[in-house]
Amino acid sequence: MAIGFDFGTANCSVAQVIGEQVKTIPLVGDELYIPSTLCAPTRESISEYLFRCLNISPLTDSGENLLRRAIRMNDEEGLVLRPDDVLFGNQALDFYLDDPKHVYYVKSPKSFLGTMGLRDMQLSFFEDLVCAMMGNIKQRAELALDKPITETVIGRPVNYHGRGGEESNKQAIEIMQRAAQRAGFKHVEFQFEPVAAGLDYEATLTSNKNVLVVDIGGGTSDCSLIQMGPEWIGKSQRNETLLSHTGAAVGGNDFDIAIAFKRFMSEFGLGSHQLSGLPQPIPQFWNCIAINDVEAQRKFYTMENLKQLMTLTKSAQHPEQLGRLIHVHRGTLGHSIVRAAEKTKIALGDQAHYSAEIDLLAEVLNIDVSYEQMETAIADTVDKIKRLVLDAIAHAQVTPDVVFITGGSARSPIVRQAIKDILPNIEIVSGNYFGSVTAGLARWANTCFK
């Protein structure tokens, strides 16, 4: 049996085609989406969880070395791993928010897969993270359907997060491929996420059109300009209809991080000065909330950085503000701050003002944010998306008949207006912001695995 699998930065979902209809498969009760989050007692727990609880073994020497190291470290800690020690989705988020200091928590591992310069053990760890999440979703889907799933089409962005270009993309796909194989999928294909979303929209067309698909997800934004319509529905060879693709590692997470940095970090000392008159170093305020940047997070949460934060606090003109960064470090609270920014973004989608609440354990901060302030904070990110749209049209040398926008972040009225500003005379339509990619992947799986 084949499914479409949207392994998203923000959420994951799966679907199948039954007859002519796409059916999204419930994963948690009646819920169709599961947030792309995971938590465990320790970082090392993930590898041992796969081996002991899911009977999933590594495929590479570095994976074997990682597993041996994980078992040794957990044994030294006296940790006896149980299947329910590793949680996913909202369960993982709730458990982390309840006790962030003593939980290993990961959001959006997809954001890390294209990072270059990583050691083999780090790559194996990312593979284990993805495998654990894929295995969890596969098991849930099989339970809902009461049958095994062996074939899948997995969505991929045009460009993964990373500075290595095609090398970053190649690395990410290899990690995803091995993780899916270990999770139990026997046959795996990949499809660009904007193309998948377009395939779902194509099913509604009664005439052929040049469609610009703009997919704004949690970690990436992608555009594909595609010839679509009844002439091509159901065909497995579509290369001549794919006119151009553009993509960049910019999306909803970047909106959240920008809001946190530009609206929240002044309460932590951003823009303030030391007693000497020198400004406080900006990387301290950025690294703590850059949850999609492996190196930034590593730098912030080292013991050496904690010592530097203590030194900065002692020499600060506003030590009470810098002291909050120490609470962030000790409580591993960066994700909590970005989560507050995400709630702010969502609330300001339909109201003019919002009071964000940030729980630092030692105190609770309330920060007022207006719609205009949010618009200013995310302006640079929106400009990057606008450039992707213009580049896709320029590369194709074709004017689209219609723009189809999808992805969770495409709900933002700011994003929709930005696209309208640069394409004022072209119709903009939308479908299921969260489900179009999944549905299109299911349609493509039905075509690939007939």
* The predicted structure's pLDDT at residue 414: 93
Q: What CA–CA distance (Å, rounded) separates 45 from 33? A: 25
Q: What CA–CA distance (Å, rounded) separates 25 from 149? A: 12
Name 346's Cβ contacts closer than 8 Å, sequence gap at least 6: none
Q: Is 404 found in the same domain as 278?
A: yes
Q: Which of these three, 185, 201, 224, is where a domain ends?
A: 185
Task: Categorize the per-residue pLDDT at 53 as very low, low, confident or very high, splitting at 50, 70 and 90.
Answer: very high
Q: Is 215 found in the same domain as 345?
A: yes
Q: Is 234 found in the same domain as 173?
A: no
Report whether pLDDT(170) > 80.
yes
Decide if 436 is inside a domain: no
Task: Categorize the per-residue pLDDT at 431 as very low, low, confident or very high, splitting at 50, 70 and 90.
Answer: confident
Task: Categorize the per-residue pLDDT at 133 as very low, low, confident or very high, splitting at 50, 70 and 90.
Answer: very high
How is the beta sheet containing 242-248 ordered, strand by strand?
242-248, 221-228, 209-216, 402-406, 427-430
For the CA atoms of 138, 141, 146, 151, the dihedral, rounded to the nearest 10 degrees, stands at -50
Chain-centre distance of CA 325, in angstroms? 25
Q: What CA–CA distance (Å, rounded) separates 287 from 300? A: 6
DSSP at 201: H
Q: Which of these three, 185, 218, 243, is where a domain ends?
A: 185
Pair of tokens at residue 181: 């194989």
Decide if 99 is inside a domain: yes
Decide if 196 is inside a domain: no
Q: Which of these three, 185, 201, 220, is where a domain ends?
A: 185
Q: What CA–CA distance (Å, rounded) separates 395 from 247? A: 12
Q: Is 213 found in the same domain as 180?
A: no
Decide if 45 is inside a domain: yes
Q: What CA–CA distance (Å, rounded) separates 4 from 14? A: 5
Q: What CA–CA distance (Å, rounded) separates 65 from 77? A: 18
Q: Is 414 found in the same domain as 341?
A: yes
Pair of tokens at residue 350: 């339909």
Decide if 191 is inside a domain: no
Q: What integer is the mean pLDDT of 119-131? A: 95
- pTM for the model: 0.90
Q: Is 360 found in the same domain as 224?
A: yes
CATH number at residue 6: 3.30.420.40
* The predicted structure's pLDDT at residue 19: 87
One-letter amino acid identity for 143? L
From 307, 305, 312, 377, select the one nearest 334 (Cα to Cα): 305
Decide if 444 is inside a domain: no
* The predicted structure's pLDDT at residue 200: 94
Report whether pLDDT(164) > 80.
no
Residue 360 and residue 329 in contact, taking contact as beta carbons nearer than 8 Å: no
Give me the domain span that covers residue 317: 209-430
In degrees and rounded to multiples of 5, residue 397 shows phi and psi of: 55, 35
* pLDDT tens readout for residues 261-291: 999 999 999 999 999 999 999 999 999 999 9
* The predicted structure's pLDDT at residue 88: 97
Decide if 190 is inside a domain: no
Decide if 107 is inside a domain: yes
Q: Is 130 found in the same domain as 7?
A: yes
Q: Domain count of the chain?
A: 2
Report whether pLDDT(154) > 90.
yes
Report whether pLDDT(361) > 90.
no
Q: Is 293 found in the same domain as 159?
A: no
Q: Is 347 found in the same domain as 315?
A: yes
* pLDDT tens readout for residues 54-102: 999 999 999 999 999 999 999 998 988 899 999 999 999 999 888 887 8
Q: Is 20 found in the same domain as 164?
A: yes
In 128-264, beta strands by DSSP E: 151-156, 187-192, 209-216, 221-228, 242-248
Q: Is 72 found in the same domain as 180?
A: yes
Q: What integer is the mean pLDDT of 311-329? A: 96
* The predicted structure's pLDDT at residue 108: 87
Q: Is 131 found in the same domain as 30?
A: yes
Q: What CA–CA distance (Å, rounded) separates 293 from 271? A: 22
